[in-house]
Amino acid sequence: MYAEHCSTDSYIQNYHVDESMSNTGIKAPAAGYGLVTEFTVVQEDATVLENILTYQWYRVNPDDWEDVALIDGATALTYITTGDDKGYHLMIKATGDDSNFDGFISFMSEHIVR
């Protein structure tokens, strides 16, 4: 996980990535397994803020961790791995709307897709 400093009075709480077999019936790391994520943004007074994050999935080369490729159209909290993902880790980046939350948080999958 990586989280950038945020200057607003809100923070991300209850964040995780679920890579369990129950998501698609396919066990990781086999292509076809699913990743389900959750991010909750709250204000200092514990008010939950809705619909202020956007999401993007990426493929990350495990050999150098710097070769990162955007996955076109993968902008939901869930992602089902494909044959194109073989040999890569998957990463989701959740970015704030800059007024309610002006940072981002990203998670890397535990498994390299096989």
Q: pLDDT for 9-18, tens place per residue?
A: 788 888 889 9
> pTM score, two decimals?
0.88
Instruction: Identify whether 114 is part of a domain.
Output: no
Instruction: Identify whether 85 is part of a domain.
Output: yes
Instruction: Identify whether 113 is part of a domain.
Output: no
pLDDT digits over 35-90, tens only?
999 999 999 899 999 999 999 999 999 999 999 999 999 999 999 999 999 999 99
Instruction: Identify whether 91 is part of a domain.
Output: yes
Confidence band of 1 (pLDDT split at 50, 70, 90): very low
- Tell me what pLDDT residue 6 has: 54
Confidence band of 8 (pLDDT split at 50, 70, 90): low
Instruction: Identify whether 32 is part of a domain.
Output: yes
- Confidence check: pLDDT of 4 > 60: no
Instruction: Judge residue 9's burial from the number of C-beta atoms within 10 Å of its C-beta, 0-12 exposed, 13-18 middle, 19 or more buried.
Output: exposed
**∠ at Cα 58 (7, 113), nearest 5°?**
135
Instruction: Identify whether 21 is part of a domain.
Output: yes
- Tell me what pLDDT residue 12 has: 84
Structural domains counted in the chain: 1
Instruction: Identify whether 77 is part of a domain.
Output: yes
Instruction: Identify whether 70 is part of a domain.
Output: yes
- Expressed as residue numbers, the domain containing 8 is 2-108
